[in-house]
Structure 1
Amino acid sequence: MKSFKAIFALAILASSSLAMAEGGGDRVYGRMMQENQRAMEQYALKNGKSTPEVVHYEYGMNLDIQKLVSVTQANKTCSVAPSRMTYEDSAGKLNTVEYRVMGTNCPHGS
């Protein structure tokens, strides 16, 4: 079980890194979200859980996060892009929230 989680984490990080290296266009983010969806479907299947439905985050949502499963990597540009977080709630149900996040490569003012 631990080796599966380690391999899964590495696969997510590798796919996210490859996506960022390609330039960060909409097509790349779309592919990254599809890969994340497939990985979460496989995780759900291996853990006997229902595949999580993607819910778009709204300000003030109450997130019952018991265990973090996956977070897509922030983009390495200075722009806003989609990201996803999948977690198990206190009832053990898988949940995926999609939200927008600012890139990590913005110049700092002097």
Structure 2
Amino acid sequence: MKKIAIVLALSCIAAQAFAEESQAKTAASKPPIETYTYGSNLDIKKVISVSDVGPECGPVSAQMTYEDSQGQRHVMQYQVLGSGCSNG
């Protein structure tokens, strides 16, 4: 009975350690968010995704995820005009 309890305890500890390691790898694989500034030299080979623009009237933050010519992923944050402004 003690052996079964020890095996179960070790299994729980191993599962928790594996989950923490998996989360750490996921966080490390996400590229840092870069902020666009006027004159930034961009190397965009392929756009992966662009965030939706909110319904606000005025400047809002948007993000674009892209790959450069070396195959590295980047996330660029930039300002755009929100879609909530009327043309009237």
TM-score by length of 2: 0.62
Mapping of residues 65-104 of structure 1, within 5 Å = 65-104=44-83
Paired AA for residue 57 in structure 1: Y
Partners of 1:86 and 1:96 within 8 A in 2? yes
In structure 2, the residue matched to 1:59 is: 38
User: Separation in 1 of the partners of 2:79 and 2:56?
Assistant: 13
Q: Which runs of 5+ in 1 are unaligned?
A: 1-44
Q: Is the 8 A contact 1:68 1:87 kept in 2?
A: yes
Classify the secondary structure of the residue corresponding to 1:63.
coil
Give the root-mean-square deviation of aligned CA atoms: 1.4
Between structures 1 and 2, the one with greater helix share: 1
Q: Is 1:105 the counterpart of 2:84 in the alignment?
A: yes
Matched positions, count = 61
Unaligned runs of at least 5 residues, structure 2: 1-25
* d(CA) in 2 for partners of 1:75, 1:51: 24
Find the residue that maps to 2:80 and give its secondary structure: strand
Give the structure with higher Rg (CA).
2
As a proportion of its length, which structure holds more strand? 2
Q: In structure 1, what is the Cα distance between the partners aligned to 2:52 and 2:35?
A: 17
Shift of 1:69: 0.8
Percent identity over paired residues: 41
Q: Which runs of 4+ in 1 moved over 3 A?
A: none
2:47 aligns to what SS in structure 1? strand
Partner Cα separation in structure 1 for residue 54 and residue 67 of structure 2: 24
